[in-house]
Amino acid sequence: MSEQVFNGQAVPSDKWIDKIDTRHPLRGRLDWTDGAFLVVLYAAVVYILRTWPDSMDIYEKYILASTPIFLTWLGWLWRPLRTLIIAVLLIALLSIWLYDGNLANGEQKFLLKYLISSQSAILWMSALFFMATIFYWVSYFSPRLDRIGSALTWSGVVLGFVGLLVRWREGHLIAADMGHIPVSNLYEVFVLFCLLTAVFYLYYEKRYNTRAVGGFVLLIVSSAVIFLLWYTFERDAATITPLNNALNSWWMKLHVPANFVGYGTFALAAMVGFAYLVKHHGNTTSWLPMVPLLLIGGALVAEAFIFGARGEASIFWVVYFGISIMLVALILMMRKRIAERLPSFEVLDDIMYRAIAIGFAFFTVATVLGALWAADAWGTYWQWDPKETWALVVWLNYASWLHLRLMKGMRGVVAAYWALAGLVITTFAFIGVNIFLSGLHSYGEL
């Protein structure tokens, strides 16, 4: 029987999971607060349907009407989510009320101009995620600061979701046919990616009662934010544009969010895998075992570096590439101190497994929904389009990871390296296809 080394002890691979308390610490029995939360959500649904009845088609209305049940279930699984949802709804409704049906108010009213218009809120989200990343890393040397990192991450998530909801309304204010769910282009889905990755991290932070992984996970979020800011200011990507006819389908409202739950959790698992490897090599004096980490880190940042080869903002991406490599090297140099603060190998491995399992489930659903959408739009379920092909590569990669874990007991260092390398594949499927290849899914070209 194979063994894995956890905290200096050899543990049989089929028994180590017993060392973790797998009881769910965040949910209790259904009580009156769950019912009250459901009533509040349905009150919001009634208000939206009565105020903007012509802004949604019949499919959107059905989705909206079923959403409170789904959110109440999620709120039961994870109580803090209820506070998040109510905060987002209240601030978004305040923003919509301040607009008062006139888009020009976005430049005239202080709160809209500087805080809770869609672009202001998303810019604040970006700044808060950056600050959270800094505080999480500083907390390796001053542990009490990790609470600030967590608070900043929560604040960034709130404002990011507010930004997306308000952007949806702003589209309707521009023109009746401009309003659409904000998951239709590269700018919007990058915001969604940042939010979903951060939300799932906050869930695991609470579940395992550790903030020590925050610095690693927020690194990938901050990297996405850097691209988002570059894309915003270099390509004016934040401008709301009419929905591509090919995307004008209710399938999009289901396919895209499910897809990005997969992307977000895969990214989270990769960064937890990175943390696992840093802890594993914490007392290693030789740099040779860490060469794969530098190579994988270089491959990841190189996918952004190629923007410079396209002749635009090349200096920016050269600097980005250099700083990224230096950050990876600096983390490895400080690995002993960081390793002391990281949670146990069991916890890191469990987070990695659960994140990939959830991501794989959602990515599978998204792939099936995408096939049904393709059949509806193009008359065939599969055409070996570059995006479809790379989605299959991603699916097979994580299917293999899960198969080897569940059937062969793969854990530890091999699983961590694989999860981290999987992020290279996922990143190419997410954005690399948009850069190098073209096809039926070329809606988010750079």
**What token pair was written down for 85?**
């949802």
Phi, psi of 304 (to 5 degrees): -85, -30
Place of tokens 């589209």: 171
What pLDDT, on the 0 to 100 scale, is given for residue 6? 44
CA 121 to centroid of chain Cα atoms: 17
What pLDDT, on the 0 to 100 scale, is given for residue 99? 94
Q: How many other C-beta atoms can be found within 10 angstroms of the C-beta atom of residue 54?
A: 7
Angle between helix 186-207 and 146-174 (nearest 10): 150
- pLDDT tens for the chain, residues 1 to 446: 344 444 444 444 444 444 454 555 566 678 889 999 999 999 999 988 888 887 777 877 888 899 999 999 999 999 999 999 999 999 999 999 999 989 999 999 999 999 999 999 999 999 999 999 999 999 999 988 999 999 999 999 999 999 999 999 999 899 877 888 898 888 999 999 999 999 999 999 999 999 999 999 999 999 899 889 988 888 888 888 888 777 777 788 888 999 999 999 999 999 999 999 999 988 776 666 666 666 666 555 555 545 444 545 567 777 777 787 788 888 888 889 999 999 999 999 999 999 999 999 999 999 999 888 888 877 788 788 888 889 999 999 999 999 999 998 899 999 999 999 899 899 888 887 776 666 555 555 55
Phi, psi of 4 (to 5 degrees): -120, 150
Q: What is the 8-class DSSP label of residue 242?
A: P
Beta bridge partners of 4: 11
Phi, psi of 387 (to 5 degrees): -65, -40
What pLDDT, on the 0 to 100 scale, is given for residue 25? 56
CB 163 within 8 A of CB 118: yes
Q: Is 189 exposed, middle or buried (0-12, 13-18, 19+ CB in 10 A)?
A: buried
Angle between helix 214-235 and 314-333 (nearest 10): 170
Q: What is the pTM of this model?
A: 0.89
What pLDDT, on the 0 to 100 scale, is given for residue 304? 52
Size (the chain), residues? 446
Phi, psi of 385 (to 5 degrees): -60, 150
Contacts of 214 (CB under 8 A, 6+ apart): 132, 136, 139, 146, 149, 150, 153, 201, 205
Instruction: Please state the domain extents for the chain.
Output: 116-242+253-436
What pLDDT, on the 0 to 100 scale, is given for residue 322? 77
What pLDDT, on the 0 to 100 scale, is given for residue 204? 96
CB 69 within 8 A of CB 38: yes
CB 187 within 8 A of CB 231: yes
What pLDDT, on the 0 to 100 scale, is given for residue 213? 96
Q: Which of 111, 140, 156 is nearest to 212 (CA)?
A: 140
